[in-house]
Amino acid sequence: MIIIPYIYSQKYCITTFHLSCYKMKSKLKYFLWFFILNTIEGTFRCDYKYNAKAQAWFKLIVMPATWFDARLRCSLEGAVLASPTTPEILAEMKNIMNHSNAEFEIFTGIHATISQGDFYTIEGTPFSNIPATWAVNEPDNKNNEENCITLNGKGELADLQCKQTRPYICYRPKTFEAEANKDCGTVDLEYQLDKRTNKCYKFHTTPRNFSQAYLACSAEGGHLAIINSDTEATVLKDLLEKYPESKLEGNFRKDRAFIGFHAWNGSWDWRTIHGQKLMDAGYSRSEVSPGTVRACGAIDRHISLGDWWCEGTIPFICEKAPDFPGTCPIFSENGQKESIHVM
Ligand SMILES: [Ca+2]
Ligand SMILES: [Ca+2]
């Protein structure tokens, strides 16, 4: 329901045609337009499921990861490593775990990785506000190395080394809602559909190494860009031109970007990340040199394929299909589509 501040006396203005009333009505009209324009349909990725009681989207990642990798992947997906900060969120986390595997123990976002012993969720909720109890014989801070908190299917907490691996849940509160990028099947507005290839592309200005870049694209529902034609090479050239070196802040190489090819197993067999030889993939204009120690693929601003150090951190380009993972609306408990207001 929309609540409008009662900014002028309706009774006074109905009976009086006064300039101040006209001005106020105009202001109200603009206010209403602003409000309507900023009311957007609640939406998030379709690979997450919305829970109306917890007022958040959830996704279980069953592949165990270290706490740091779990935090990173959730963040790159546009979400947060979930913590049971309310009874409703705790109930849904237990529900998700028990529907998957009752033996599950998952990493939560509660950690003391910055200052040992000071446990907070990633969003900053102090541990004292967490409505969950410890498991038997926990916490024990074994070997003084347990700075991350797990949750089991009974809703009990334990401390554990962050470098251990566990499944985890990413979540996104309803209040984080963003506009859907319907062209590209995501809420990430940086993806732009290019009609020449009918694919969406994003230039990442934050430099990462090849492995992190691969992870970032994957978490966003795409992959490091693969050039499949001369047309797609032109698309990437045009994209790079939107980000001239002068626009990129930081101390890193700005004349190239990682894309999706590399030398397999150090054998200098250059292939796309999907396993095709470059020629078969559709574009092989290259300056990659055999026998180099640089086994990861990048393009320069003239769209020549080049080799680069895999551990080097440079910008990168992701590509994704316009229909994956897709965006889904929020449905409330009574099945109504919900809208939210962004001010
Ligand atoms: Ca422990
Ligand atoms: Ca492609």
For 202-244, what is each residue's pLDDT tens digit? Answer: 999 999 999 999 999 999 999 999 999 999 999 999 999 999 9
**How far, in Å, from the CA of 142 to the mean position of ligand 1?**
6
**How far, in Å, from the CA of 312 to the mean position of ligand 2?**
23
Share of the chain above pLDDT 90, in %: 73
> Which domain does 309 fall in, by range?
192-320
> What value does the mean pLDDT of the chain take?
87
Q: Which residue has the higher pLDDT, 30 or 8?
A: 30
Asked if 62 and 137 sit in the same domain, the reply is yes
**pLDDT tens-place string over residues 67-107:** 999 999 999 999 999 999 999 999 999 999 999 986 889 99
pLDDT over threshold 70, residue 38: no
Q: Which helix (H) or strand (E) holds 183?
A: none
pLDDT band at 332 (very low <50, low <70, confident <90, very high): low
**How far, in Å, from the CA of 194 to the mean position of ligand 2?**
11
**How far, in Å, from the CA of 73 to the mean position of ligand 1?**
24
Closest ligand to the CA of 229: 2
**How far, in Å, from the CA of 82 to the mean position of ligand 1?**
19
| Cα–Cα distance for residue pair 173/58, rounded to 1 Å | 9
Give the CA distances from residue 289 to residues 270, 286, 293, in Å, rounded to whole numbers and listed in that order. 10, 9, 9
204: CATH? 3.10.100.10
The answer to whether the peptide bond before residue 139 is cis (omega within 30 degrees of 0) is yes
For the residues of 196-253, what is the DSSP string, one character each? Answer: TTTEEEEEEEEEE-HHHHHHHHHHTT-EE----SHHHHHHHHHHHHTS-GGG--SSS-
Asked if 262 and 209 sit in the same domain, the reply is yes
Asked if 206 and 240 sit in the same domain, the reply is yes
Asked if 166 and 55 sit in the same domain, the reply is yes
**How far, in Å, from the CA of 117 to the mean position of ligand 1?**
13
Asked if 169 and 254 sit in the same domain, the reply is no
The residue type of 232 is E
**pLDDT tens-place string over residues 132-151:** 999 999 999 999 999 999 99
Closest ligand to the CA of 233: 2
Q: Is the dihedral of CA 137, 139, 145, 151 positive or negative?
A: positive
Residue-level pLDDT at 199: 98
Closest ligand to the CA of 281: 2
Residue-level pLDDT at 41: 53
Overall number of domains in the chain: 2
Closest ligand to the CA of 139: 1
**How far, in Å, from the CA of 260 to the mean position of ligand 1?**
41
**How far, in Å, from the CA of 339 to the mean position of ligand 2?**
35
Per the listing, tokens 């080799």 go with: 307
| Cα–Cα distance for residue pair 241/302, rounded to 1 Å | 10
**pLDDT tens-place string over residues 150-185:** 999 999 999 999 999 999 999 999 988 678 899 999
**How far, in Å, from the CA of 67 to the mean position of ligand 1?**
14
Residue-level pLDDT at 336: 64
Q: What are 194's strand-pairing partners?
A: 199
pTM of the model: 0.83
Closest ligand to the CA of 105: 1
Q: Are strands 133-134 and 156-160 parallel, antiparallel or unpaired?
A: parallel
pLDDT over threshold 80, residue 14: no
